[in-house]
Amino acid sequence: MIAARAAVARRRPGYAYAAPGANGGSRLTKEEQWALWAGIILFSLVAARLGDFFPMATRLKPVMLSLVLYGLYVATNHRRMGANRVTRDTLFKLIVLYYLWILASTPFAIWVGGAFRGVKIGAMGVSLAFAVALVPARPAQLKILQRAIAVVTAVSAALAVNAGTMEAGRVTTPGLLDPNDLASLLAAAVPFAMVAGTSDKSKKMRLAAWGLALVMCIVLLQTGSRGGILALAIAVLVVVSRMNFRRTIAAVVMSAALGPAVWTVTPPELQERFSTLLELEDDYNMTASYGRIATWKRGIIHFSEAPLTGVGWGNFGTAEGRMMQSLNIQGQWLTAHNILVQAFVELGIPGGTIFLAMMWVAFGKAIRLWRDKQPEYLASLCAFLTGAMFLSHAYSYTLFAILGLLIAASHSLRAGPGRLARQRPRRRVPAPHGRAGPRMPAPVAAHPVRSSFDPA
């Protein structure tokens, strides 16, 4: 009894920790092991887009093939995999509702054919979130998933540099990820490498984790994304904010050592581009008609034209082009370049409200994990949203992956703070017909009670 109480006391007060596995045992079932590998594989193919670097493999449609096989396996083993744990989660319900509103608003889009692409992309995003969320909510498995995300993202970054695909002097991928998308993915994955580099017991693993962080930071600068730089800075600050003194010193020392090394390998033209962060008065985003400020202002006009249903999934550019044609102005058909503007303009008030509700619940989960000394989840979410303030990422696969990861991690903390403290001991209930009721364990006294045998 004393050992059991001591074990409970060592746990964080106010939290009820989840059981080791769905079957209540200490080992993973075969279905849970497959759930872990499926989450890693789908993140590699859908979010990190590893298949885009191998043209021969793309002919086999690895993303669609893996999603179909995964769906069939979940359909036949959903109970053993603990799928109810995910489907009952509030955040996942909001993700599904977000997708359903995309479907409902599609017929009212300006360009219905373009909006139908959201049916496929949204389904893939929901599937990715479900697969990542279904990973067993156990510290060992979550650690494996974090390490895998860092490794896969670093490999994707290295392959992007090796492929030599450039866009205006900035590193990009041969597939769907442009320089800003790649930078957003890298900034969201760096916190997992940082935490591994400061907390892993093995010195070799810590050095390997810092190596992954170095690769991701170098490639992030090669993308030339200024929003990515801000996102990386926010991620580092959030991770360091919850570390103890020793780990904070280690993180600061490693960051100070890696910073100059990363900057020296950055091309001079990109260094000049980053230096404009301190001189935004003359930046095109502030002054030009095709800059972000002017685009966001026009977004208000687009929103006022269809506030209920929106202009349709991916139709912000179409609304821009239609406005340009009506005014006889020759210009670019620009995207929203802001995640909130995109959500409200393309999906209307209902879609934007659902998106805000998703972020509210996601931040609640991330803050709870941050309080439990797991800052990497909040750091990843903050890094992504920082970059998304300047990008059109309302349907990004990286966003769905982060939301799924938050669902999986939050299920290791089933009860909120103070919930256990508010539970009162049950009293003895008298049974009918004069029979004695069941005996309940007596509550433990807050202070030791002195007996008559104790010396005065």
pLDDT digit string, tens, across residues 166-180: 777 788 888 778 889
How many Cβ atoms sit within 10 Å of the Cβ of residue 165? 18
pLDDT of residue 6: 47
Q: 170: which strand partners?
A: 167
pLDDT of residue 11: 45
The alpha-helical segments, DSSP class H, found in 224-338 are 226-241, 245-264, 268-275, 284-287, 292-305, 316-326
pLDDT of residue 438: 53
CB neighbour list of residue 236: distance below 8 Å, 6 or more residues apart: 190, 194, 251, 255, 379
pLDDT of residue 420: 35
Between the alpha carbon of residue 445 and those of residues 7, 164, 425, 448, the distances in Å are 18, 69, 11, 7
Domain boundaries, the chain: 29-272+291-410
pLDDT of residue 175: 78
Both tokens of 116, joined, read 């139908």
How would you label 23-35 residue by residue, b for 16+ Cβ within 10 Å and e otherwise? eeeeebbebbebb
DSSP letter (8 states) at residue 110: S
Structure-token match 């030599």, residue found: 164
Both tokens of 402, joined, read 């982060």
pLDDT of residue 427: 52
Rounded Cα distance, 87 and 174, in Å: 35
CA nearest to 188, candidates 361, 388, 51? 388
- CB of 182 within 8 A of CB of 172? yes
pLDDT of residue 291: 79
Amino acid at site 397: Y
User: pLDDT for 351-401, tens place per residue?
Assistant: 999 999 999 999 999 999 999 989 999 999 999 999 999 999 999 999 999
pLDDT of residue 167: 77
Rounded Cα distance, 313 and 2, in Å: 59
- CB of 242 within 8 A of CB of 187? no
DSSP reduced 3-state for 12 = coil
- CB of 40 within 8 A of CB of 151? no
Between the alpha carbon of residue 286 and those of residues 67, 213, 294, 296, 297, the distances in Å are 42, 32, 8, 11, 12
pLDDT of residue 13: 40
Q: 167: which strand partners?
A: 170
Counting every residue, how long is the chain? Answer: 456
CA nearest to 97, candidates 456, 354, 323, 408? 354
Amino acid at site 212: L
pLDDT of residue 172: 84
CA nearest to 95, candidates 77, 122, 121? 122
Mark residue 135 as left, alpha or beta (left: phi above 0; alpha: psi -120 to 50; beta: remaining).
beta
Amino acid at site 54: F
Q: What burial class does residue 324 get, using C-beta atoms within 10 Å of its C-beta: 0-12 exposed, 13-18 middle, 19+ buried?
A: middle
Give the helix/strand (H/E) hosting 197: helix 179-199
Amino acid at site 38: A
Q: What burial class does residue 9 get, using C-beta atoms within 10 Å of its C-beta: 0-12 exposed, 13-18 middle, 19+ buried?
A: exposed
- CB of 413 within 8 A of CB of 369? yes
> Which residue stretches of the chain have pLDDT < 50?
1-2, 4-25, 415-426, 444-456
- CB of 216 within 8 A of CB of 207? no
CA nearest to 120, candidates 183, 158, 63, 45? 63
Structure-token match 């972020």, residue found: 359
